[in-house]
Amino acid sequence: MAIPSRIAHLGHVELLTPEPERSLWFFTEILGLTEHSRDGDSVFLRTWDDYELYSLVLTAHETSGLRRTALRTTGQRELDELVAAAEAAGRGGRWLGPSAGLGPSYLCTDPDGHEIRLYWETEWYQAPEGLRPSLKNQAQAYPGRGVGVRRLDHVNFLAAEPGPNGEFVQDVLGGRVTEQIVNDDGSVAAQWLTFTNKSYDLVYTGDWTGSNGRLHHLAFAADTREDILRAADICLDHDVFIETGPHKHAIQQTFFLYVYEPGGNRVELCNPLTRLILAPDWRPITWTQAERAKGQAWGLKTIESFHTHGTPPVEEVPVAEA
Amino acid sequence: MAIPSRIAHLGHVELLTPEPERSLWFFTEILGLTEHSRDGDSVFLRTWDDYELYSLVLTAHETSGLRRTALRTTGQRELDELVAAAEAAGRGGRWLGPSAGLGPSYLCTDPDGHEIRLYWETEWYQAPEGLRPSLKNQAQAYPGRGVGVRRLDHVNFLAAEPGPNGEFVQDVLGGRVTEQIVNDDGSVAAQWLTFTNKSYDLVYTGDWTGSNGRLHHLAFAADTREDILRAADICLDHDVFIETGPHKHAIQQTFFLYVYEPGGNRVELCNPLTRLILAPDWRPITWTQAERAKGQAWGLKTIESFHTHGTPPVEEVPVAEA
Amino acid sequence: MAIPSRIAHLGHVELLTPEPERSLWFFTEILGLTEHSRDGDSVFLRTWDDYELYSLVLTAHETSGLRRTALRTTGQRELDELVAAAEAAGRGGRWLGPSAGLGPSYLCTDPDGHEIRLYWETEWYQAPEGLRPSLKNQAQAYPGRGVGVRRLDHVNFLAAEPGPNGEFVQDVLGGRVTEQIVNDDGSVAAQWLTFTNKSYDLVYTGDWTGSNGRLHHLAFAADTREDILRAADICLDHDVFIETGPHKHAIQQTFFLYVYEPGGNRVELCNPLTRLILAPDWRPITWTQAERAKGQAWGLKTIESFHTHGTPPVEEVPVAEA
Amino acid sequence: MAIPSRIAHLGHVELLTPEPERSLWFFTEILGLTEHSRDGDSVFLRTWDDYELYSLVLTAHETSGLRRTALRTTGQRELDELVAAAEAAGRGGRWLGPSAGLGPSYLCTDPDGHEIRLYWETEWYQAPEGLRPSLKNQAQAYPGRGVGVRRLDHVNFLAAEPGPNGEFVQDVLGGRVTEQIVNDDGSVAAQWLTFTNKSYDLVYTGDWTGSNGRLHHLAFAADTREDILRAADICLDHDVFIETGPHKHAIQQTFFLYVYEPGGNRVELCNPLTRLILAPDWRPITWTQAERAKGQAWGLKTIESFHTHGTPPVEEVPVAEA
C-alpha cells in the first residue's frame, strides 16, 4: 500500500428527494432509522449503531439524487494532508465551518463532480431517555421497527468515466480497489474501493447517459440475510417498489435487495455476511464483460433497469451501455 | 387413533391483565399484533396470518391469568358431538350466544377448571384498506413492527394434576399425546397434546402450589429462529423481562424465548422450524425425571422460575415441586 | 369437509435416474440423505427425521422420471376404504405383498397414469450405533453434511389435464385444494392439494407436451431459509445446476430453490416457514393467468424452463403452453 | 491513534492436542476445515476463505494448549519496525527461516510468555482441482460439511496479569483496546484488542491459577447465527462437548457457542453479525465487576467453567478468581 488510507470510513450522505414526506416515511418506518434533528429542508437521520449523530441527511429538493458524501478522516493531520493532496491534484475545494455536530470540513469533488466532504471532528451521540440501549457498547436502543438497518454501508456513484474517479479515490484519498469490471477495450466499467476492512465503501459505475454527478444507489447494511428477506416482505406489503433481489452478488458476494425510495433514489439493503478484506496486499479481482454477463452468484440475471435508472433522472440520449 | 379429533385448531385465548395499557403496548408494539376491535374492558388482537378476526382477547382485570381458551371444531356436527361427549363425561357446560365474530359456542371446563370454549361458526377476516396484503393467500399485510408473530401457537396450562386433564383432552376432545414427562411414581408431570400436525397445541404442567385453573404460559410462533433472536434484542432494549432463552427445548425441540408481558403473564416466543407430527400412530415420547433434569437441548438448565411463576399469582405454600 | 382424509401423509417416492452413481452422490452429499439399504438397482434413502425407514427410493433406469408415489393411510380400515373407493371410481389397481419395511400395499394410478401406492403398515426406524440422535424425539442424528433436509415435502406431477387428477385426489383420496391456477377458459392450470396441515402435499401442473405420467419436481423441506441459501452455495460450488431461486413463491409463499439432480430430475429445496393450513374449511385461493404472469412474490419472473423441462424427457411437439 | 497498527491481521495459530486423530476429525468434519498439508506431527488446516495457505496448525503433543500465534504485518518495513520495537521494549526474540508458505518470521513473546510470530511474506493459496470455487473472489469452494467456518477470528489468551499484556499489544504491536473489564481495584480483568475494523483480534483474560502462557479459547467465525445454531445441533449429535451457548455476549455482542475439541482446548464458534469498529478514535468500553456479574446479553449467566478451564491444564491451586 503505497498510500496509507487517511480516510477512516464513510460518514454520511445528503440525499435529495422531491417527495420529502414519503421519503422520510420510508427511511424511518421501512428502514427503521431514527430522526435526530431538522434544519430547514433537511432531516438528519441515524441508525441505531451510528456513533456519530447521523448518517443520512434527507433534503427536500426539486429532484432526486445525491448532494454530498462525507468521509471521516483518521485524524486532524490526515485531514490537512488530504486537503493538500486534493489541491495538489487540482481537485481543491473550500472549507466549511462547523455545523450539525461536525467540526470544520473541506468540500471537494471527484473528477465526475460528486461532492466529497472531508472532516475529522465529530460529536459522539448520547442517546436521550427513551432511546438508551441496554448494552453500553451500543449507541442507541434497537428500534424494532422496519428493517432495523445497522449502518450506511456504501455509495455507488454513476460516473461518465469510472476509471479516473477510481484513480482519484486511490491516489488522493488512499482508497484501495478490491474488485472491478474491466471492459474488453481496457476501460473500467465499474470499480469497488475501500478505506477499511469492509470489502467496499465507494463504487463507481459507468453512467450510460454520459452525465456527471449522479447516483446509482445508496446501501444500508442489515445484520442478517433474514433481515433482508424480511425487508422484502415489508416492502411488498407497504408498496415500496422492489427492483430486484433478494439474491447474492457474484461481485463482492453481498446478499442484496434493491428498492426505490419514494423520491426515486435506488436504495440497496445489503448483508455482507462476515466477509472482510484483511490482506493488506489484496489483489484486485477483475471481472470481464463476459463474466459480468453471467449475472449474479446463483444465476439471477442482472436487471435491465440497473443500466437505465439513476438519480436525478436525465433526458439525454444514452451514449453508451454501461 | 380410536377417537378422531373433532377439534381443528386452537382459536383464541382471553388473557387477563392488571396493566391493560402496558400489556396492550407489549402485544402490539413488541409482538406486532394488530388491534381489531374493543368491547368494554377487552381489546381483540390479531396476528397478520389469522384467518379469523382475532386470536387474543386482552381483558383488563384485577389479576393476571387466563380466562378462557377457545377451540374451533372441524364442523357443526363435530361441535354437537363434542358437547355430547363433554356432558357424557360429566364435564358439561353451557351455550353462549353468538358474539364477536363467532357463532354459538359451548363453554365447558377441563378437570382443573380452565374454561374451554368450543365453536364452529366463525367470521373470516377481510383486511381493510391500509392493512391489505399484497398476496391474496395471506390474511393481512405483514406489519414490520416488533417481532411480527404469525400465530397463537399453544397454551401451557398449570394443573394440580396434569394426568386427568390430559385424559380429558384425549378422551373427550380427541387430542393426542406427543410427548410427556412421567414422574418416577408413574404420575404425569407434564403432557403435550395436539389436535393437528403441529407437535402440540395444549400442554398441562403440574402446578407446584396445588392451585387450579392457572396459566404457565401462552406461546406465539414466529417464522424464523432469527425472529426469536431479534425478539430478544427488542425485549432487551424495551425493558421487557426476559426469563430464559433463546435456546432449544429438548422436549419437542422448539426454539424458545420466555418473557413476561407487563401484566405478569409468561409469554413464549417460539419457532418449531419445520417439525410436524405426520405419523397417525405417533408413539408418545416419555421423558423421565432424570432425563428432564438434564435441561434443554444444548445444555441450558431449566430456569428455577419455571417452577415458581404462574398466573394469577397465588399465596399458597407450595405443596410439591413440579 | 365432505370426505375426511384417509391419507396421513406422503410416504416415499421412487425416482428413476440414468446416472445412478451421480444421483446418489447428489442425494447423500448435497442433500444430506442417509443410505438405508439397497435392493437390486435401487437404493433406499432417508432423511434424519424420517420415522419410517426411507422416503426416497433411487432406482437406476434408462431414463429419468418418477416411478411411484407412496401415501400412508391413517389406518388399516382407511386403507381398505380407499381401495374400495378407487375401485368404485374405476381406478382400481392391485395389491403388492409386504416389502422393504412396508406391509401390504395397493397400487393404483391417478387419471394421468402416475402410480400411487397406498399402505398402512410400516416399520419404524431404529437408528443403529453411529446414527443415534442425542434427543429421543428425533429419528436419527443430524448429519451435518450438505443441506441436511428434514423431509420429503411434496411431489409436483405433470399431467396432460390437471383438473381430473385434482378431482381424483379430492374425491377418492380425500385431499383438499388449498390453491390453484385457473385458466381464463375455466380449466385448471395447476392445483395444490393437501392431506395434512401442510399447505400442500401433491401438486398437478399442466404438461405442455400433452404427455402422461411425468414429473415436474420433487421437493425436500429444510428447516430454515438460511439452509436454502446455504444450499445455493453448496450447489454453486459443487456443480449442481441451479435453475432458479432462491426466492419466495407467490403461490403458497414457500421459499424455494430449484436444481436438477444429475439424473435430470428437478428437485426443489423448500422452506415453508411456519405456515400451516389450520382452517378445516379453508377457502381455496384461485389465481388467474394474469396474476400468475406477475411472477414470484418479490418480483422474480417465473423461469421459462419451468414450462419446458419435465422428466422423463419427451420429444413430442408441445401442444399447449401450461 | 498514537501508534498506527503495523499488524494487518491474525494469521494462524498452532494448537497442541494430546488426541491428534480426534482433534483432526473435529476440525475437519465438525468445523469443516480442509487439510492442506502435513509436516511431522503437524497438520495444516485452512478455512474456505483463507487467502493464505492455512490458519490452523494442529500439532500432536503430550498436552493441550497453544504453541504460537502468528500475526501478519502490513509490509516488510512494518515487520522490521515491529522487530525493533519489540527489542526496544525488552521483548526481543529471534528470526525463523522461511517455512510452510511463509517468508522469514520473527518469534517473540508477550509478557505472559505466549509466543507471537510476526511475518510479512506469505504464499497465496491456489485451489487445486476439486476445491476450486465458482466465484473468483473466493479462495476455495465452500465445503458443505460441518459448520463451514469462514475464518480464524480471534485468540483469547489467559495471562497471570492481563494489564501488562494489553499494554504490550498496544505499545509494541499497535493494537487498540475496544472493550475491557476493570476490577474494582483498578486492575484489568480482561481486555479486548484489535488491529483491524473487527471489534477484537486478541483478548487477554486473567488466569485464576496464576500460570503463564495458557489459552482460554480460539474462535472461528461462521457467516450467520443460523450457522451457530446448526453447529450446536451438529455438536449435540456428534458428541462434541458443549460448554455454553448459543447466546449473545454482552461484551462485544458476539453471538457465541463454546465447545471443547477432543484434545481439551476450548473453541468458540462465533458470529459478530455486521458489527465493526469504524471510529478511528473509538472510546474503549469499560465494564465493572458488577456489570460483568450480570451475565450475558439476554441474561444467561456466565458459566462457572469459564473461570476454571484453560489449556494446558495445570494443577496449581487457584490463587484468585478471575
Cα angle C268, C270, C271 (rounded to 5 degrees) comes to 180
Rounded to a whole number of angstroms, the distance from the CA of B313 to the nearest CA of chain C is: 33
Chain D residues within an 8 Å CB radius of C236: 134-135, 142
Q: Do C30 and D144 lie within an 8 Å CB cutoff?
A: yes
Residue A249 has pLDDT above 90, yes or no: yes
Pick from B49, B224, B291: which is nearest to C225 by CB? Answer: B224
Averaged pLDDT score across all residues of chain B: 96
- Which of 3.40.50.740, 2.102.10.10, 3.40.50.720, 3.10.180.10 would CATH assign to domain A7-123+148-307? 3.10.180.10
CB distance A298–C245 less than 8 Å?
A: yes
Confidence of residue A4 (pLDDT cuts 50, 70, 90): low
Distance CA C178, CA C198 (A): 10
* Closest CA relative to residue B192, chosen from B56, B297, B285, B315: B285
Rg (CA), chain D: 19
C1 confidence band (pLDDT: 50, 70, 90): very low
pLDDT at A199 over 90: yes
CA angle D297, D302, D305 (to 5 degrees): 155
Average pLDDT over residues C237-250: 98
Q: Tell me if D232 and B248 make a contact (CB, 8 A cut-off).
A: yes
- Are residues A247 and C246, on separate chains, in Cβ contact within 8 Å? yes
Q: Chain B partners of D234 at a C-beta cutoff of 8 Å?
A: none
Q: What are the tens digits of pLDDT across the range C7-52?
A: 999 999 999 999 999 999 999 999 999 999 999 999 999 999 999 9
ω into C162 cis (within 30 of 0): no
Beta strands in chain C (DSSP E): 7-17, 34-39, 42-46, 56-60, 65-73, 94-96, 105-109, 115-119, 151-159, 176-182, 188-194, 202-206, 215-221, 241-248, 255-260, 266-271, 285-288
Q: Look at D223 and A1 and tell me if their CB atoms are within 8 Å.
A: no
pLDDT tens, B245-257? Answer: 999 999 999 999 9
Q: Best of D273, D278, D286, D292 to disrupt the A interface by mutation (most A CBs within 10 Å)?
A: D278
Percent of chain A with pLDDT over 90: 96
Cell numbers describing residue B308: 415458581
Chain C partners within 8 Å of D224 (Cβ): 226
> Would you list the DSSP string of A145-178?
BTT---EEEEEEEEES-HHHHHHHHHHTT--EEE
Spatial CB neighbours of A300, under 8 Å, sequence gap ≥ 6: A244, A245, A247, C300
* Number of CB pairs, chain A paired with chain D, less than 8 A apart: 101
Interfacial D residues in 32-71 facing A (CB < 8 Å): 49, 51
Mean pLDDT of C134-147: 97
Q: Is D72 left (phi over 0), alpha (psi -120 to 50) or beta?
A: beta
Q: Which pTM value belongs to this model?
A: 0.97
D223 near A CB under 8 A: yes
| Closest residue, chain C, to B292 (C-alpha) | C135
Q: Amino acid letter at C171?
A: D
Q: Does D246 touch chain C (CB under 8 A)?
A: no
Tell me which amino acid residue A58 is: L
Across the interface, whether the CB atoms of A133 and B226 are under 8 A apart is answered no
Q: What ipTM does the predicted assembly reach? A: 0.95
B:148-187 residues touching chain A, CB 8 A cutoff: 148
CA dist., res. C180 & res. A319, Å (int): 47
* The domain made up of C7-123+147-307 is a member of CATH 3.30.1180.10: no
Q: Which residue has the cell 364435564?
A: B91
Find residue D111's DSSP bridge partners: none
pLDDT for A112 beyond 50? yes
Q: What is the pLDDT of residue D260?
A: 98
Q: Which CATH superfamily is domain D7-123+149-307 in?
A: 2,3-Dihydroxybiphenyl 1,2-Dioxygenase, domain 1 (3.10.180.10)
pLDDT of B320 higher than 60: no
Interface touch D275/A51, C-beta < 8 Å? no
Residue of B141, B226, B230 with shortest CB distance to A237: B141
Asked if residues D311 and D66 have their Cβ atoms less than 8 Å apart, the reply is yes
Helices C225-237, A225-237: inter-axial angle, 10-degree rounding: 120
Q: Nearest residue of D to residue B259 by CA position?
A: D298
Q: Tens-of-pLDDT digits for all 322 residues of chain D?
A: 345 689 999 999 999 999 999 999 999 999 999 999 999 999 999 999 999 999 999 999 999 999 999 999 999 999 999 999 999 999 999 999 999 999 999 999 999 999 999 999 999 999 999 999 999 999 999 999 999 999 999 999 999 999 999 999 999 999 999 999 999 999 999 999 999 999 999 999 999 999 999 999 999 999 999 999 999 999 999 999 999 999 999 999 999 999 999 999 999 999 999 999 999 999 999 999 999 999 999 999 999 999 999 999 997 555 554 4
Sort strands B176-182 and B151-159 into parallel, antiparallel or unpaired: unpaired
